[in-house]
Amino acid sequence: MTQMSYELLTKQQTSLTPRLQQSVKLLQMSTLDFTKEVAQAIANNPFLEDGEDGASEEHADAGQPAAKDAGHVKNADPESSEHAAAEAEGDRDAQAAEPAFDESASTYSGDYPVRRDPDLPDTDVGQWAQHQTSMQESLLTDLCAYPLSERDRLLAEYIIEAIDEDGYLRLPFSDLAPASAFSPPVDDKEWEAALRLVQQVATPGLGARNLQECLTLQLRALDEDTPGKQLAGRIVSEHIDKLGRCDYAGLARALDCSAEDIQRATLLIRNLEPHPGRRYGAIDPSCYVVPDVIVRKVGKLWVAVSNESAMPHARLNTVYAKLFRESRYEDRSLMAQALQEARWLLRSLEQRSSTIQRVAQAIVARQQTFFDYGEIALRPLMLSEIAEELGMHESTVSRATSHKYLSSPRGLFEFKHFFSRELATSSGGTCSAVAVRALIQEMIDEENPKEPLSDVTLARKLAREGVVVARRTVSKYRAQIKYPPAELRRAP
């Protein structure tokens, strides 16, 4: 007979209530995603409505500020406000007067910007996001001017869609389209012909498979009488490795020509565009960024102010809430749930706005020198410092800084830009990695183009400035600011 044994195990497990889950979800959203989420909630919940002025029933009953004044709520950490929210749920059936309609009040300005074109819809994103034609859109438009068969046009379209942002076709032909897309299957000769067509339609150099082909296509597009064109073509096709090393003497010997001819040809090559895709103004992500806070100087200090005009405004629909309270039908569960969700959302809006503003102000308070002098004065900062000061969990601070932006006289920055690891200095202090990158950039910008600074030299100059970093660290930071090695920066 089998003997069975039972064992009791105890363990700790953290679970999030639905309301806390909603607060966390809203906190980590970007402003644009957050605005869409609120608009969807207003559309789906009859107890919610757009609102800018006047307090909602929820806030009037609970003595809390309206959603518009969410930045003034004192303690809105999603992980510390669950108890307060639970207590506030007991006021659901309290009476509240319906706010009077004010005809002089401004219209809902929850979308950015506040000023609107009366001929456009209220939520027209085109008022603040400029449309830019992408490289693929431009190429597909140009392709329409060519009389092609359906098969040839489809081949060209697959190639265009595969061109990366630098303008290169880096995928092999076999990966451009599924095998079932064409019948009979496409061979390499057909792909080559389609690629030549795209390269002919596009800006010279687009659709190249490597740098050598890219430069060759651009040289072919030049006028035949361009000085140095023929020699430049030979350098690119036969000795591009020597060009990369700036071995001008070796090029002169290999091609049996004078130093003046080599200089003329190499200058022509250096005037070409190694990244032809950049000619198609890449869409700047900042065009689609709405700053959550605006940094201004008040007296001698920089302060963070919530960008209220960019925040969506919602409030409780007091008419529907009053009708619900006065109703006497038996099945009220669905409507009661909708009313509860509306109140939860309003509190979450307040919590999100307050948390972001508090985190932003704590960051700005620690980075005063950055706003005065720039990145070279950015101090090291950790998430744990902000979390400890505000009494929040570090994960809450992380969510409050993700996809959140601040606008300042120095530009638009993501909150996370201000968190940089610290590096030791010879004086025993610390400096940020961002500041070191700024120093390296400053040194390279001021170098003699004919005698560029090597990574070893840069490390020594940094050491004289009191910043001790290894050569490989300098190489990594130099690559991060997109500067080539010294041998590639040397002027002919």
What's residue 285's pLDDT? 54
The answer to whether position 126 is within a domain reads no
CA distance 278 to 219: 18
* Confidence (pTM): 0.51
**Rounded to whole angstroms, what are the CA distances from 50 to 38, 55, 236, 466?**
10, 12, 62, 56
- Nearest residue to 311 (alpha-carbon basis) of 100, 80, 35: 35
Q: Are residues 411 and 443 in the same domain?
A: no
**Cβ distance 472 to 480 under 8 Å?**
no
Same-domain check for residues 139 and 262:
yes
Q: Phi/psi at 182 (nearest 5 deg)? A: -130, 140
- In this structure, are 277 and 366 located in the same domain? no
Considering the domain architecture, whether residues 175 and 251 belong to the same structural domain is answered as yes
Q: What is the pLDDT of residue 360?
A: 94
Report, in angstroms and rounded to the nearest whole number, the Rg of the chain calculated over CA atoms. 31
pLDDT for the residue numbered 182: 86
Rounded CA-CA distance 101/87 in Å is 31
Could you write out the DSSP letters of every residue in 78-142? TTT-HHHHHHHGGGTT---PPPPP-TTSPPP--SS-S---TTS-TT-GGGTS-----HHHHHHHH
Residues 187 and 261 in one domain: yes
| 107 in any annotated domain | no
Dump pLDDT digits (tens) for 405-445.
999 998 889 898 888 766 656 555 667 778 888 888 889 98
Please count the other Cβ atoms lying within 10 Å of the Cβ belonging to residue 57: 28
Question: Could you give the CA distance from residue 153 to residue 292 in angstroms, rounded to a whole number?
Answer: 45
Q: What tens-digit pLDDT sequence spans the chain (492 residues)? A: 556 666 666 655 555 566 677 777 888 888 888 888 888 888 888 888 887 544 434 444 433 333 333 333 334 444 444 434 433 433 433 333 333 333 333 333 333 334 444 444 444 444 444 445 678 888 888 888 888 888 988 999 999 989 988 889 988 888 888 878 888 888 889 899 999 999 988 788 899 999 999 999 999 988 888 888 999 999 999 888 888 888 888 888 888 889 888 888 888 988 888 888 877 765 555 556 788 999 999 999 999 999 888 778 888 888 888 887 777 666 667 788 888 888 888 888 888 889 999 999 999 999 998 999 888 888 888 888 899 999 988 888 888 888 899 999 988 898 988 887 666 565 556 677 788 888 888 899 888 888 889 988 998 888 887 777 888 888 888 888 888 888 778 876
Task: Determine, yes or no, domain membership for 118.
Answer: no
User: Are 393 and 387 contacting, i.e. CB atoms less than 8 angstroms apart?
Assistant: yes
Residue 36 forms part of a structural domain: yes
Q: Output the CA angle 368-372-377, nearest 5 degrees.
A: 75
For residue 6, being part of any structural domain is answered with: no
CB atoms within 10 A of CB 241: 9
Would residue 389 count as lying in a domain?
Answer: yes
Domain of 148, in residue numbers: 133-282
Q: Which residues of 350-381 are buried (b: 16+ CB within 10 A; e: fewer)?
A: bbbbbbbbbbbbbbbebbbebbeeebbbbbbb
> Which pLDDT score, from 0 to 100, does residue 294 have?
93
For residue 347, being part of any structural domain is answered with: yes
Residue 333 lies in a domain: yes
Position 422 scores a pLDDT of: 61
State which of 361, 390, 419 marks the end of a domain.
Answer: 419
Same-domain check for residues 259 and 153: yes
Regarding whether 444 and 378 lie in a shared domain, the answer is no
Amino acid at 299: G
| Judgement on whether residues 255 and 148 belong to the same structural domain of the protein | yes
What DSSP character marks residue 415?
Answer: G
Distance CA 433, CA 477 (A): 8
Same domain, 294 and 385: yes
Tokens 């006028």 belong to: 223
38 burial level (CB within 10 Å; 0-12, 13-18, 19+): buried
Q: Give me the number of domains the chain comprises.
A: 3
Are residue 453 and residue 480 in the same domain, yes or no? Answer: yes
Give the pLDDT confidence score for residue 313 in this predicted structure.
80
The torsion angle over the Cα atoms of residues 339, 342, 344 and 350, rounded to 10 degrees, is -140
Please identify, among 371, 404, 419, the residue that sits at the C-terminal boundary of a domain. 419
Q: pLDDT tens, 243-277? A: 888 888 888 888 888 988 888 888 898 888 888 88
CATH of the domain at 440: 1.10.10.60
Helix (H, G, I), strand (E, B) or coil at 178: coil
Comparing CA positions, the residue from 66, 68, 48, 61 lying closest to residue 88 is 61
Which pLDDT score, from 0 to 100, does residue 4 have? Answer: 61
Instruction: Kindly state whether residues 414 and 459 are assigned to the same domain.
Output: no
Task: Kindly give, in sequence order, each residue whose CB lies less than 8 Å from that of residue 361, ignoring residues fewer than 6 positions away.
Answer: 303, 304
Query: Domain check: are 229 and 158 in the same one?
Result: yes
Q: Which residue, 447, 445, 419, is CA-closest to 433?
A: 419
What's the confidence (pLDDT) of residue 191? 92
